[in-house]
A and B are shown apart, each in its own frame.
Chain A
Amino acid sequence: MKKLLLGDHAVAQGAYEAGIKVAAAYPGTPSTEITEYAAQFEEIRSEWSVNEKVAFEVGLGSSMAGGRALVAMKHVGLNVAADPLFSFAYSGVNAGLVIAVADDPGMHSSQNEQDSRYYAINAHVPMLEPADSQEAKDYTMLAFELSEKYDTPVIIRLTTRIAHSRSFVEIGTRKEFDREYVPDIRKYALVPMNARGRHIKVEEREKQLAKDVNSFDINKVEHGTNKIGIVCAGSIYQYVKDALPDYSVFKLGMVYPLPIEKIKEFADNCDDVIVIEELEPYIENTLKANGIKCHGKELTGLQGELSSEKIKEIILGEKITTHIEQVPVRPPVMCAGCAHRGVFYVLNKLKLIVTGDIGCYSLGCAEPLNAMHSLICMGASVSGAHGMEMAKGKDYSKKNIAVIGDSTFVHSGITGLIDAVYNKSNITVLILDNSTTGMTGHQEHPGTGKTIKNEQTHALDFAALSTACGVKNVAVVDPYDLEAVEKTIKEQLEKDGVSVIVAKRPCVLLDKAPKLDCVEIEGCKKCGICLKLGCPAIRKNEDKSVSVDSTLCIGCMICEKVCKSGSIKKVAGGSK
């Protein structure tokens, strides 16, 4: 049976067929759908972990115990999970452990364009890179075998165009896999004495693999009539086939370690070799270091995505000329009725310095709200605000606030909060509790009371947690109640010690969010203040009055609260 699967789905399907017992992940575009798909299978114990480090550790536990495990994350998630990665690479596995990591060239949904392949080199962990969904499944299954054969975790690297493209996958059946747990202190307890021994093992297995990889059939040579040879992997292979159908191609399935001998042989049969790869010159530099002459980044550049169109332009000098329409840009915006909007409206009004974080609420940094001043990595809002106070003194925290989403807070905000309390800070932390991980497509998290399989579980109480951390000033507000939001923020900012405000209301896209009404506008005085909310349901007419798109409005009534002329009224049940 064939199915049209995302690359992400196919990784999970492969892991399922390989008999995994455990799948753990923290969401992150473009990797989220891996674990969502795995969670559908009854045989797999799946979880949304608190963060990627925890997910990895859950995976390594399963591996040590004898159950195959899949952990998934986006590229920046691997930074968070790097600690267990580097050391479990020393221990090696009992049952196979596969890490699926999704890079995001072009930054469709990310804060940087880092290249995960360097993690493979640095941690001495093999890495495979599929070029479509079928390969995503096959390589994942292979990765489990390699993991056990070479006694190492194995990384499957995806990029956005593989993770989020659908193609056909042949569906197979599951083969159960179970190993005994065998205590082995010298393998798993990495005190220096044992770790030294393991480091030797790491080098041995890597040498072996670097030799063996030259005969792996996932590295393929396709001879063309053109004697220029292209070396590539992943989606780039597909672009090359579209753009340069008659070129000779070396398609890599394993990107670390590289099959150097086999590539040398290929290069010897070509007039010239060009490495085409996105992001860093990883393959190029490795080939050059091994004496293989090639071209690379001087042609393709370090930034963004490639495509068959770009490859044609770079290699063949063929540029597609077409008229570029000058049209208004359409950046993402918070949904109509989003509970975050009013909060940022107030923050802007109060002219606070806002250290921000990552999620739907990051859109608070955009026009017209312009109310979030930093976004670095998950959790940096809280610790960053504390750092600002450290640099500038206690009074600084009277005009500075950290804003963080509920899922982000659980991921990395709690540690920063404890740090701030411990180190006598006076920061105010605003937790935007919309009862979901919104940005990545609405996943459950420890604050929602539901697991990935939609089972009831304990719901973390942010106010109680803050109190337990030693926060003296804790307040809970409804973010639709702008007056209360403003009053509470002002009060908490003035207080000594760390303050926490929980702004609590479910994301409007959730089923649990009540369906509300709609507004109508009569007698608009054209002041334009409601436009400062940046609500997609309100638009400015030619005569400077405003009107409401009733297909979008859900009747959150925030605009009614900012309108000074009383022109906005509720229409009960008017929402479509």
Chain B
Amino acid sequence: MKLNILIVGVGGQGTLLASKIFGNYAMLINKDCKLSEVHGMSQRGGSVVTYVRIADKVYGPLIDKKQADVIIAFEELEALRWAGYIKDDGLIIVNQQNLYPMPCIIGKADYPTDIYERLSNYKASVHKINALDIAARLGNLRMTNIAVLGFACAILKLDKPTFIEAIKQSVSAKTLEGNLKAFEEGFGSV
């Protein structure tokens, strides 16, 4: 197995936790893995990307353009921004949430309305999930990221019990129950 995943979103959306779960998943299936994270300024609502590379042997922590097997986007505009990284026949998983960047908030740019149309120009399959709704139903918007991962786990046909174990290793005991619920709901919404 060789898997290059780009996890993209907006600073504060929980991309770091998501990538850590993939890292622990890699450990559980005995693969090499590198994760490249974004800390610092961009975490304040900027565009953020985490690179996840899983293989028998991984060298660089980054993924080149057109080399990602999967893009997991926590926000629609970010899916489009990073779409150039998807390889032909890749998978783009999009959480249907819109967070307006400052140029759109102040009216200097328009938030694109043709995101899915433009994503369809890539030779990749696009899968949508409304994870914000799931998290809202469960009463904690911070679980949105785990709901997206549940969905991704199902789409990517990863081993579910192993993935759940990876979540257990990555989140605090306090939030585990809620996170597992969010995972199941996301997993089930395929």
Contacts and interface: CB of A to CB of B under 8 A. Distances in A.
Nearest to A305: B62
Nearest to A164: B37
B165 to A, nearest CB: 14
Contact of B46 (A239, A330, A538): A330
A324 B84 contact: yes
A218 B111 CA distance: 51
A368 B40 contact: no
Contacts of A4: 20, 23-24, 26-27, 33, 35
Interface stretch (A29-37, A78-86, A280-288, A391-399): A29-37
Given A32-B39, A328-B101, A531-B107, 5 more contacts: A168-B27, A323-B83, A368-B102, A531-B106, A532-B106
Interface stretch (A87-95, A332-340, A561-569): A332-340
Contacts of B33: 4, 166-168
A307 B62 contact: yes
Contacts of B23: 4, 166
28 contacts: A108-B42, A132-B34, A161-B61, A164-B37, A164-B38, A164-B39, A166-B20, A167-B33, A167-B61, A238-B59, A241-B59, A309-B65, A322-B84, A322-B85, A323-B84, A331-B102, A332-B42, A332-B43, A333-B45, A333-B102, A368-B106, A536-B100, A536-B105, A539-B100, A540-B104, A540-B105, A540-B106, A551-B141
A363 interface: yes
Interface string A335-374: 1000000000000000000000000100100111000000
B62 A327 contact: no
B41 A29 contact: yes
Contacts of A167: 32-35, 58, 61
A2 B26 CA distance: 12
Interface of A: 2, 4, 6, 29-30, 32-33, 108-109, 132, 161, 164-168, 235, 238-239, 241-242, 307-309, 312, 320, 322-325, 327-335, 360, 363, 366-368, 439-441, 528, 531-532, 534-536, 538-540, 544, 549, 551-552, 576
Interface in B129-177: 132, 136, 141
A307 B132 CA distance: 34
Nearest to A33: B39
A440 B36 CA distance: 17
Closest 7 CB pairs of A and B: A109-B40, A29-B40, A332-B46, A330-B101, A165-B61, A328-B109, A309-B64
Contact of B84 (A325, A367, A528): A325
Nearest to B83: A325
Contacts of A366: 102
Nearest to A307: B62
Given A33-B39, A330-B78, A166 B34 contact: yes
Contacts of A552: 99
A241 B60 contact: yes
A22 B4 CA distance: 39
A540 B107 contact: yes
A441 B36 contact: no
A242 B59 contact: yes
A2 B107 CA distance: 50
B61, B81, B83, most chain A CB atoms within 10 A: B61
B6 interface: no
B118 interface: yes
Contacts of B66: 320, 322
A166 B37 contact: yes
A398 to B, nearest CB: 30
Contacts of A539: 100, 104-105
A454 B108 CA distance: 44
Contacts of A164: 36-39
Given A325-B84, A332-B11, A307 B45 contact: no
Contacts of A309: 62, 64-65
A327 B46 CA distance: 14
B110 interface: yes
A327 B44 contact: no
A367 B104 CA distance: 11
Contact of A367 (B27, B62, B102): B102
Contacts of A235: 60-61
Nearest to A162: B61
A6, A167, A320, A552, most chain B CB atoms within 10 A: A167
Contacts of A320: 64-66
Interface string B67-95: 00000000001101101110000000000
A327 B80 contact: yes
A164 B26 CA distance: 18
B160 to A, nearest CB: 21
Contacts of A165: 34-37, 61
B112 interface: yes
B39 A363 contact: no
A30 B61 CA distance: 16
A335 to B, nearest CB: 7
A320 B88 CA distance: 13
Contacts of B141: 551, 576
B116 to A, nearest CB: 13
Contacts of B27: 2, 4, 168
Nearest to A237: B59
A330 B109 CA distance: 11
Nearest to A74: B40
B136 A576 contact: yes
Nearest to B32: A168
Nearest to A166: B35
A570 B108 CA distance: 28
A32 B65 CA distance: 29
A308 B132 CA distance: 36
Contacts of B111: 328
B12 interface: yes
Nearest to A509: B12
B80 to A, nearest CB: 5
B89 to A, nearest CB: 15
A333 B44 CA distance: 6
B47 interface: yes
Nearest to A310: B64
B41 A109 contact: yes
A242 B38 CA distance: 22
A351 to B, nearest CB: 19
Contact of A328 (B41, B64, B110): B110
A335 B10 CA distance: 12
Contacts of A168: 27, 32-33
A30 B39 contact: yes
